[in-house]
Structure 1
Amino acid sequence: MKDLTREEKLVSILQFVHEFNITAYEISKNTDLTAAGISRIINGKIKNPLNSTVNTIYDFIQTKYIQEKNQNINDRGLLVSKSKNVPFYNIEFSGSQVKSLEELEDYVSFYVDYEPLNDCTAFVPYYGESMLPKYKSGDALGVKQIKNFDALLWGESHLVITNDNANNIKTVKNVHQHKDFDKVILRAINPDYAGDTVIEKTDILSMFLVKGKVELNQL
């Protein structure tokens, strides 16, 4: 795995602070940083914190909330580990240039062993509001790659990645049948995002069935 930049570590810090409800006071108790300074970073009042400060906070969270859980199963049967189970890719698909999961080896943060979803291809983070209330930002979606686009589970949620001809879409939507066999309909659940997106099957680079979700604070 590649070393994270300061900006990537800061994004991870803010994400995990939210997911694990970590307070500035807790971090300060376990580091040589002040709660006031940490709070200003978490609240976005300090835009460019020192590398050493970011590293200290990041290392504490990794040790306290990630590494200590690497070999511990929680009450939902989840196991976060370093072994080769189902990889969790820490990347926001919608803003990336990714065409397939095979390109994302450097973005594997950890591996998940969860019996109901162990046949998944990967876990990926979900961001956005178009699939509320089914999925919310911060959920880790267990996805399984689809090889045959002519045998889809209509009405189910899928992660869809398209080519240039379909505007390089990378999205999670419910997939519905189109009257034209060579096309599919992508549809949001949230009524605020109403409107169908119709794409050609030939423009789909990769498609994954969303088999389930796990909240990151369960990992």
Structure 2
Amino acid sequence: MTSVRIPLYSVDAIAGVVEVYEQISDNDPIAYLEIPNLPKCDGAIYVVGDSMYPLLKSGDIIIYKVLNNIQNILWGEMYLLSIVQDGDAFITVKYVKQSASPGWVTLISYNEHHQPKDFPIESIRFAAHVKASVRINSMG
């Protein structure tokens, strides 16, 4: 059984969201995860927010593989994204689907209280395919 050593990064340590991957790559990991039989991954971060609840809860860890070309998105899959809209940058975890509008994508939350939202595909500055998640149910 093979294990992959995956660096766990702190999003709090990332100053600029637009440069997510560069910032993550330049920061030292806060820990490493080893999970048997996991596909090749580039890193892991903690989830913040409730848009993917109950599938992902705030505090869960997602493990991701960086997408080098946005044109290689697997429609319908879950991604860690850095998006710039009207000069504001943010990180989100969403399902990515093709929009009815050419050149746009629809981001869908698992939490039904969050509405789907369309964004121009060029507003995505960073995308990483979420390959796995880890949940800690008890801290004691």
TM-score, L = length of structure 1: 0.54
**In the alignment, residue 95 of structure 2 is paired with which amino acid?**
N
- Do 2:16 and 2:23's aligned partners in 1 also have CA atoms closer than 8 Å? no
1:145 aligns with 2:66: yes
Q: Which has the higher strand share?
A: 2
RMSD: 2.6
Distance 1:86 1:130 in 2: 25
Q: Structure 2 counterpart of 1:135, which letter?
A: L
Q: Which runs of 4+ in 1 moved over 6 A?
A: none
Residues 8-59 of structure 1: per-residue CA shift (max 9 Å, x gap): xxxxxxxxxxxxxxxxxxxxxxxxxxxxxxxxxxxxxxxxxxxxxxxxxxxx
Opposite residue 113 of structure 1, the aligned amino acid is: E
Of residues 94, 117, 126 in structure 2, which corresponds to 1:197? 117
Kept in 1, the 8 Å contact 2:76–2:95? The answer is yes
* Cα shift at 1:106: 2.9
**Match 1:91 to one of 1, 6, 11:** 11
Unaligned runs of 5+ in 1: 1-76, 80-84
Residue correspondences, number: 135
For the pair shown, which has the larger CA radius of gyration, 1 or 2? Answer: 1
Q: Which letter does structure 2 place at the counterpart of 1:158?
A: Y
Q: Which has the higher contact order (CA 8 A, sep 6+)?
A: 2
Contact 2:3 2:37 in 1 (8 A): no
**1:100 to 2:37 alignment:** no
Residue pair 2:3, 2:38 contacting (<8 A) in 1 also: no
Change in Cα spacing, 1:149 to 1:181, as seen in structure 2 (3 Å) is farther
1:92–1:125 contact (8 Å) kept in structure 2: no
Gaps of 5+ in 2: none
Q: Indicate conservation of the 8 Å contact 1:92/1:127, yes or no.
A: no
Matches within 5 A, 1:18-33: none
Q: 1:142–1:211: 8 Å Cα contact kept in structure 2?
A: yes
Aligned residue in 1 for 2:83: 162
Give the 3 Å change call, closer, same or farther, for CA 209–113 of structure 1 in structure 2: same
**Comparing both structures, which one devotes a greater share of its residues to helix?**
1
Residues in 1 aligned to 2:69 and 2:100: alpha-carbon distance in whole angstroms: 18
> Is residue 178–residue 184 contact of structure 1 (8 Å, CA) maintained in 2?
yes
What is the deviation of 1:176? 1.0
Q: Is the contact between residue 91 and residue 107 of structure 1 (CA under 8 Å) also seen in structure 2?
A: no
Which residue does the alignment assign to 1:41?
none
